A and B are shown apart, each in its own frame.
Chain A
């Protein structure tokens, strides 16, 4: 009997074995090149066209920006290399199946919903960014900095179309995503570099000697826009460090780095940090300064146009794809543990649809700094639990993977550590006025301490109960 074309397609998609539920086998491990391409592609992204301008809006001074990005990105690279990668190459499991051993399936269910939602919102922001470029040839009215809801029918249709294409690419799997990122990343980086360089004469730079003066007086002036908090060196450092907190300290990149032959491949993240989160943020700051000087729109598409015309628009779209794709992939993995009977491509399709709906709301893009900090903070405590379970527990006589060993469905120390950490962070914010960007560091120590302490308490209570019973 001949299968229908649809059945053949389903069978082919089902055959894609992505090692979602088992450790990656040795024949699927990859060399450093793939990780350099993946990190460079993922972090030289469309959202850099938003973050650079937001630093300008927050009135950061030139020195604070350059030194803050240097320090913060270094801390981020070290977090990938020394916290995430060593665990990834030892276990070869993705985040979700690793976490299941610690939290039990029911707590993991809750975590996965939160995680998938966060990733959907993040990928939605990236699709929104791409939509600002796609809409320019059609004279689409751009959302403003304060817009929260869809601003026009044209905006909604554009976001839906871009989301559809990004989802289709994500359904095709990790290999294709990595390949696409690898091809696009060298070109994207040069587009950022070229765009920043090409607008300098219009800002008044006639030679390298003028750079410092123009940077101080026209780009990073140290004066925030009305209603914005002024950013210091510390704001920039902590933002750069924690912009991807969910990925490194939060351990989401176990999913990616489990394919690495060596833990040292965690240092490949430097290509993403110093090209994307340094060079691209600086370049997009120059672009938005010109847009403000000319009284034009400050959305990613229009400022990319100022830098390099049509190639800039293509870059915004491509950059949105290369970042949104791995994010949808991660969200798909998160949801798959909730629906284990669904194949990955079906889950990814559902996640892509949710992401596309999120992309309709420009609020995600225009409040990106706050959202990025918040999503990292919310997911971080589970990364701290993985760290404690893997490194600390064996040294102090606690059992790693306790929930799996005892067949526990809901691990209460992990749940209380998660909720307790977020409550503690909220308290630090309310009582001492600490900005959200600064809460991740004390929060990590709170999460690690709480999870370890509560696991100890459980061990003691279990022993006492056993003694009383005997």
Chain B
């Protein structure tokens, strides 16, 4: 489960930055880039808290 959540989280980060590279390359519209970034944010914040340890736990 934890492994699966991590994959989803990193997918969220990829959705945050990869569309901008495609906009720069002229392969994606700005509007689509903005929509994908929002989806990336939702994915990251919905999954990362479940596998990123609390500071106290990490000590």
Contacts and interface: CB of A to CB of B under 8 A. Distances in A.
A30 B55 CA distance: 8
A175 B54 contact: yes
Query: Which has the most chain B C-beta neighbours within 10 Å: A31, A183, A198, A205?
Result: A198
Interface in A181-213: 182-183, 186-187, 190-191, 193-195, 197-198, 200-202, 205-206
A197 B40 contact: no
Given A29-B59, A197-B21, A201-B23, A191 B16 contact: yes
Contacts, number: 95
Chain B residues touching A, majority SS: helix
B7 interface: no
Chain A residues touching B, majority SS: helix
Contacts of A29: 59
A311 B24 contact: no
Interface string A160-175: 0000000000000011
A198 B48 CA distance: 25
A397 interface: no
B1 interface: no
B52 A182 contact: yes
Given A186-B13, A187-B12, A309-B34, A193 B20 contact: yes
A201 B23 CA distance: 8
A182 B35 CA distance: 24
Interface size class of A (residues with CB under 8 A): 35 or more
A37 B52 CA distance: 11
Interface size class of B (residues with CB under 8 A): 20 to 34
B37 A311 contact: yes
Nearest to B59: A30
B43 to A, nearest CB: 10
B40 to A, nearest CB: 7
B12 to A, nearest CB: 7
Query: Which has the most chain B C-beta neighbours within 10 Å: A38, A187, A191, A309?
Result: A187
B34 A311 contact: yes
Query: Which has the most chain B C-beta neighbours within 10 Å: A175, A195, A197?
Result: A197
Query: Which has the most chain A C-beta neighbours within 10 Å: B24, B33, B35?
Result: B24
Contacts of A28: 59
A314 interface: yes
A197 B38 contact: no
A368 interface: no
Contact of B19 (A186, A194, A205): A194
A177 to B, nearest CB: 8
A201 B24 contact: yes
A315 B34 CA distance: 13
B49 interface: yes
B20 A198 contact: yes
Nearest to B16: A190
Contact of A311 (B38, B52, B58): B38
B27 to A, nearest CB: 11
A308 interface: yes
B45 to A, nearest CB: 7
A176 B33 CA distance: 32
A38 B44 CA distance: 18
Contacts of A206: 26
A39 to B, nearest CB: 13
Given A187-B41, A191-B37, A197 B55 contact: no
Interface in B1-58: 12-13, 16-17, 19-21, 23-24, 26, 30-31, 33-35, 37-38, 40-41, 44-45, 48-49, 52, 54-56, 58
Nearest to B39: A311
Contacts of B44: 187
Contacts of A19: none
A312 B49 CA distance: 20
Those 7 A-B pairs whose CB atoms lie nearest each other, nearest first:
A309-B34, A194-B20, A178-B55, A311-B37, A198-B20, A197-B20, A190-B17
Interface of B: 12-13, 16-17, 19-21, 23-24, 26, 30-31, 33-35, 37-38, 40-41, 44-45, 48-49, 52, 54-56, 58-59
Given A202-B30, A205-B24, A312-B37, 13 more contacts: A28-B59, A33-B58, A34-B58, A182-B52, A183-B45, A191-B37, A194-B37, A197-B24, A198-B20, A309-B37, A310-B38, A312-B34, A315-B41
8 contacts: A197-B23, A200-B24, A202-B30, A308-B34, A309-B35, A311-B38, A312-B37, A314-B38
Interface of A: 27-31, 33-34, 37-38, 174-176, 178-179, 182-183, 186-187, 190-191, 193-195, 197-198, 200-202, 205-206, 308-312, 314-315
